[in-house]
Structure 1
Amino acid sequence: MEPPVHPFTELFEQLGLPADEASIQAFIERHAPLPPTMALYEAPFWSAAQAEFLETALEDDADWAEVVDHLDTSLRKN
């Protein structure tokens, strides 16, 4: 299995969020768990630009898709 093209921290940077480990963990703890029927990009805490980026990354199966899936999984855990 190849490592993701983009590291998790780089996704947070792309989204304009603090990207250090403590900030990422705090973000996940603050926003998890997402309802099982809600798409990641539909979560109310994203700006319009962030939501569009996440939706496009998944729909286009872009090189960001794997790390966006990782974020999705992280936000679904209790």
Structure 2
Amino acid sequence: MLGEPEYTMNDLFAQLGLDSSDEAIEQFISEHKLGQDDNLVEADFWNDSQRAFLQEEWKLDAVWVEVIDELNARLHESA
């Protein structure tokens, strides 16, 4: 939509309170792979506030949903 900011993976990691450098993101993704049937928001590596943020934004189909979908896809890549 016009006027809405487009968030990046770096923005998402910063919002989640994680290291948002490109290197840290790649490392996180390589160390936290999800199985084909694993749900992103139910993954055990999120704390309660991270899980709540991801769940709420996804449910609302909010401005973050595109980058959350990208993270979800990347965490499931080799499933």
Asked if Structure 1 and Structure 2 have the same fold, meaning a TM-score greater than 0.5 normalized by the shorter chain, the answer is: yes
Q: What residue in structure 2 maps to residue 15 of structure 1? A: 16
Structure 2 distance, partners of 1:21, 1:72, is: 17
User: Structure 1 residue 36: deviation in Å?
Assistant: 1.7
> When the two structures are aligned, how many residues end up with a matched partner?
75
Q: What residue in structure 1 maps to residue 66 of structure 2? A: 66
2:66 aligned partner, one-letter code: E
> 1:9-52: CA deviations, max 9, x gaps?
000000000000110000000001x1222210100000000001
1:18 aligned partner, one-letter code: D
2:13 aligned partner, one-letter code: F
**Residues 2-41 of structure 1 mapped to structure 2, 5 A cutoff:** 5-32=6-33, 34-41=34-41
Structure 1 distance, partners of 2:53, 2:39, is: 13
Structure 1 distance, partners of 2:38, 2:58, is: 14
Q: What residue in structure 2 maps to residue 46 of structure 1? A: 46
Q: Which runs of 5+ in 2 are unaligned?
A: none
Q: What residue in structure 2 maps to residue 55 of structure 1? A: 55
Moved over 4 A (4+): none
1:68 aligned partner, one-letter code: I
The normalised TM-score by structure 2 is: 0.89
Identity %: 37
Structure 1 distance, partners of 2:41, 2:53, is: 8
